[in-house]
Amino acid sequence: MDKSLNGWVNGFIGVLIFSGSLPATRVAVMDFDPTFLTSARAAIAGLLGLAMLLLFRQKRPERGDLLSLVIVALGVVVGFPLLTALALKHVTTAHSIIFVGLLPLATAIFGVLRGGDRPRPAFWLFSCLGSALVAGFALTQGVTASAVGDGLMLAAIIACGLGYAEGAALSRKLGGWQVICWALVLSLPIMLVLTFATLPSSFAGVGSSAWIGLAYVSLFSMLIGFVFWYRGLAQGGIAAVGQLQLLQPFFGLALAATLLHEQVSPLMIVVTLGVVLCVFGAKKFAKQEAPRPATVG
């Protein structure tokens, strides 16, 4: 199997793992406080990441890499998990997955800003269309029912897009799985303190589903998924393999309907499909075409 195909396989596995994140978080926040869930999942994954770095004797990042690792940690270790956990107190998993359709676009935008490219006008057209679809869908659901949850989900997507873009760029230097492990280790002291500070007074009322949800987001969403995802980006290319994220809303909706028995309306499916098409178009026009060579004669 060549390197490019390996990248697609690893990226696909990563997307499948991430697709279960929101359903697992939704189950976990039914019994766990969102802040405890966020810190506990990061602390568990951070201890495992530290063990991996020590086991494989990885070289410490250079001082110049610390800022990028902090951005990755704030985006995908703290920001996205905490904001989605808070959002899922107000909206259903199926509703929140609509916003995940904007994640590839957010990643592309931050990639463009970080790389200094000038996208073609069509990129911004697709970007605005996708955002309008999400905003329009949110408005149809009623302000009192979803306004807070929608705002939190939008913030979560922005944080995660920044973390993905920064981590993908840094993985070229440090390696795919090393980036997420170092980001987890960097945030580990704070996450451990926060975990004990928000520890529930009793676990008597915590059901088995919540424990399974915590285990999933700690082991798979926070660590294992990133091992496959960043490896896939490094092997197959960020722009190419990154488009596999377009499948995530469909996988997530299927899981929400199958495991949580949440209603997936036809409107949700139509909006998700529209967002995916807009993201695909935006990513296609994300980079400016190279100028054609001048003809002589």
In the chain, what are the domain boundaries? 3-199+207-284
Cα torsion angle, 120, 126, 128, 130, sign = negative
Distance CA 294, CA 285 (A): 23
* pLDDT-based confidence at residue 297 (cuts at 50, 70, 90): very low
Distance CA 253, CA 268 (A): 9
Q: Is 237:6 a contact under the CB 8 Å cutoff?
A: no
Distance CA 274, CA 285 (A): 17
Question: Which residue did the predictor score with more confidence, 286 or 184?
Answer: 184
pLDDT at 289: 53
DSSP 178-209: HHHHHHHHHHHHHHHHHHHHT--S--TT--HH
Q: Name the residue among 153, 159, 158, 163 with its Cα closest to residue 233.
A: 163
Distance CA 249, CA 137 (A): 15
Give the best-scoring range by mean pLDDT among 8-17, 97-106, 267-276. 8-17
Q: What is the pLDDT of residues 139-157, one digit of tens each?
A: 676 545 578 888 999 999 9
Start-end of H helices in the chain: 3-19, 21-28, 34-55, 66-72, 80-87, 93-100, 103-115, 121-140, 143-174, 176-197, 208-216, 225-236, 238-242, 248-259, 266-284
Residues 6+ apart with CB under 8 A from 85: 25, 28, 29, 34, 35, 37, 38
pLDDT at 260: 79
* Average pLDDT of the chain to the nearest whole number: 86
Q: What angle do CA 47, 205, 217 make, to 5 degrees?
A: 30
* pLDDT-based confidence at residue 117 (cuts at 50, 70, 90): low
